[in-house]
């Protein structure tokens, strides 16, 4: 068992690596070689990566792929996707191509309100607290002017502050519930700075004006943004669904709708259903330098907003028209953070023609809808494993260190045979015995 180390963060990068290698690895040269292999050859870019987080030793790469032919509000996009899971980019591309000739995707931003809260404890009269809050509210906003002036100049800023009584949930618990408009910035730092100033002013004034004790617990934005909503949808006459793998459009539409309905009432299915949606969403969020963990948390909370976990997508068949849509909360930014620092994030945003935050919300929602359409379409027609395993084939071959010639023969073989792990292993063994 290794000994604890103190002052690790103060070591140089080389010293950190040497300590790790000497402590945990039996083959030190191989470990050192692997770490160095993933450094960027450009020293300036590597220095940039090193400074994104603390204790950086190397880079952890994910593939960056693209899904072309996305027609969104009559404009064509090629969407960047950073993800390691096989078949995701292929499925998104296939869905984009399917809907390209059927009117494409329609998307709209419904609202862009973001939320932050000051959580505090107070053991006095609520009526006194309410009167105090109403008198102090203008000062709360005034004291943030140095923080908000640039955001206000662009048309954003603080929308409102409310006092909320949460004592039914937790004794003496109250909150300042604030709403914000942060325009093209995701706005986390802006919101948190405003909240901390609210808390400071609130506490100082409370000490002067209230007789009862008021204790600020914490000030932090919320990643649950139910009023930062975007909607995306596809629709067409049922007969237009006919394609190479949909011979009976009416039957397909009915089965597809039934599959979505199941995800709306069965949480075990809904979790996997929504995970497929997030395959598309996370990949674009990551490629554009946004916080996919925050997006995940907010989206899954939204899926539970009615008291049980449900599908994020919905389907209807009315007047011989098939409609499939998604409505989700997405707090995204196209300025600030990594958007101006990470070279590939800048590349991805330029590929999307430098979208506004609202544009990006629409693009990301469409990517999630497309991913879900492709998955449910596969599930209700050929089954999901056929396409997934074919995309996974190269991963299996790489696990067995197949040569280029072996890969060529095996890929050809599985063009007409079902891909399973055991079948691939058998094929490799057969070739190697020849």
User: Residue 355: helix, strand or coil by DSSP?
Assistant: coil
Angle at 119 between CA 115 and CA 121, to 5 degrees: 155
Q: Give the N- to C-terminal CA distance of the chain in Å, as an integer.
A: 47
Which of 16, 139, 200, 275 is flagged as catalytic?
275
Whether residue 338 contacts residue 55, with contact meaning beta carbons closer than 8 Å, is answered with no
The residues, ordered by sequence, that sit 6+ positions from 127 with a Cβ below 8 Å of its Cβ are none
- Phi, psi of 4, deg, nearest 5: -65, 155
Which of 18, 50, 85, 108 is flagged as catalytic?
85
- Spell out the SS3 assignment of 284-299: HHHHCCCCHHHHHHHH
Which of 291, 342, 359, 377 is flagged as catalytic?
291
Is 85 known to be catalytic?
yes
What is the 8-class DSSP label of residue 105?
B
**Radius of gyration of the chain measured on its C-alpha atoms:** 26
Give the position of tokens 């599959």. Answer: 259
- Could you give the angle at which helices 188-209 and 126-142 cross, rounded to 10 degrees? 130
Is 275 known to be catalytic?
yes
Please report the DSSP string for 219-249 in residue order: EEE-S--TTSEEEEEEEEEGGGG-BTTBS-H
- Residue 90's Cβ-side half-sphere holds a number of Cα atoms within 13 Å equal to 12
User: Residue 177: helix, strand or coil by DSSP?
Assistant: strand
Active site residues: 85, 275, 291, 388
């Amino acid at each position: 068992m290794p000994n604890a180390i103190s002052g690790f963060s103060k070591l140089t990068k080389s010293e950190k690596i040497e300590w790790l290698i000497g402590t945990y690895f039996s083959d030190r040269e191989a470990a050192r070689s692997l770490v160095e292999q993933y450094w960027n050859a450009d020293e300036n870019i590597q220095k940039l990566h090193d400074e994104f987080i603390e204790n950086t030793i190397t880079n952890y790469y994910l593939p960056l792929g693209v899904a072309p032919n996305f027609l969104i509000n009559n404009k064509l996009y090629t969407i960047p996707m950073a993800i390691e899971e096989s078949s995701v980019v292929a499925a998104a591309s296939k869905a984009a191509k399917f809907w390209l000739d059927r009117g494409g995707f329609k998307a709209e931003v419904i609202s862009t309100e973001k939320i932050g809260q000051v959580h505090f404890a107070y053991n006095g009269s609520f009526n006194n607290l309410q009167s105090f809050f109403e008198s102090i509210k203008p000062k709360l906003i005034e004291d943030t002017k140095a923080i908000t002036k640039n955001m206000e100049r662009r048309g954003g800023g603080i929308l409102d502050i409310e006092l909320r009584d949460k004592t039914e949930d937790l004794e003496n618990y109250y909150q300042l519930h604030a709403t914000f408009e942060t325009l093209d910035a995701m706005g986390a730092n802006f919101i948190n700075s405003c909240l901390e100033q609210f808390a400071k002013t609130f506490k100082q004034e409370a000490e002067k004006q209230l007789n009862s004790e008021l204790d600020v617990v914490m000030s932090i934005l919320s990643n649950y943004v139910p009023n930062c909503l975007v909607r995306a949808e596809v629709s067409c006459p049922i007969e237009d669904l006919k394609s190479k793998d949909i011979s009976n459009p009416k039957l397909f539409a009915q089965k597809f709708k039934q599959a979505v309905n199941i995800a709306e009432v069965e949480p075990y299915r809904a979790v996997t259903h929504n995970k497929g949606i997030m395959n598309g969403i996370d990949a674009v969020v990551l490629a554009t330098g946004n916080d996919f963990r925050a997006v995940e948390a907010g989206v899954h909370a939204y899926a539970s907003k009615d008291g049980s976990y449900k599908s994020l997508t919905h389907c209807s068949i009315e007047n011989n028209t098939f409609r499939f849509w998604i409505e989700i909360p997405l707090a995204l930014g196209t300025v600030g953070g990594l958007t101006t620092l990470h070279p590939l994030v800048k590349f991805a945003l330029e590929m999307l023609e430098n979208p506004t935050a609202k544009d990006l919300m629409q693009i990301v929602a469409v990517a999630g809808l497309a991913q879900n359409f492709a998955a449910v379409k596969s599930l209700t027609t050929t089954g999901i494993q056929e396409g997934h395993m074919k995309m996974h084939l190269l991963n299996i071959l790489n696990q067995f260190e197949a040569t280029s010639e072996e890969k060529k023969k095996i890929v050809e073989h599985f063009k007409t045979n079902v891909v399973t792990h055991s079948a691939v292993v058998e094929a490799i063994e057969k070739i190697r015995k020849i």
